[in-house]
Amino acid sequence: MRARLETLIDEMLEGQILLDEALSEFEKVYIKKALAQNRQHLSKTAVVLGIHRNTLAKRVALYDKQDRNGSKPPKRSSR
C-alpha cells in the first residue's frame, strides 16, 4: 500500500496539486467510502472513523453543498 501511495503522491506533485487540496479531497473520499461501507449510517461511520457523529454530519452536509454547487473545498487553516 505504501508504494501505491507514494506513486499517487508523485503524480499529485507533478500535477502541482497543493497540499490543502490533496488533504481535503482525501478526507472527502475517505469519509464517503466509509459511509458507503456502513450503508450511509452516520453513527456507525462516525465510530469507525473515530469522530463525533455531529462532526461527520457537518462534513457530509458541506460535501453535499460543494457537490451541488460545483465548488472547491474551503482552504484549511494552518495548524
pLDDT digits (tens, 9 = 90+) for 22-32: 999 999 999 99
Instruction: Give a yes or no: residue 75 inside a domain.
Output: yes
Residue 9 forms part of a structural domain: no
CA distance linking residue 46 with residue 49, whole number of Å? 5
Number of domains in the chain: 1
CB atoms closer than 10 angstroms to residue 55: 11
Let me know if residue 35 belongs to a domain: yes
Closest CA to 46 of 29, 61, 28, 31: 31
Q: Is residue 3 part of a domain?
A: no
Q: For residue 13, is it within any domain?
A: no
Q: Is residue 68 part of a domain?
A: yes
- Flag whether 27 is in a domain: yes
pTM (two decimals): 0.78
The answer, yes or no, to whether residue 41 has pLDDT greater than 60, is: yes
Domain assignment present for 10: no
Rounded to a whole number of angstroms, the CA Rg of the chain reads 14
Q: What residue numbers bound the domain in which 36 lies?
A: 18-79
- Please report, for residues 43, 48, 70, the alpha-carbon distance to residue 9 in angstroms, rounded to integers and kept in the order given: 31, 25, 24
pLDDT (0 to 100) of residue 70:
83
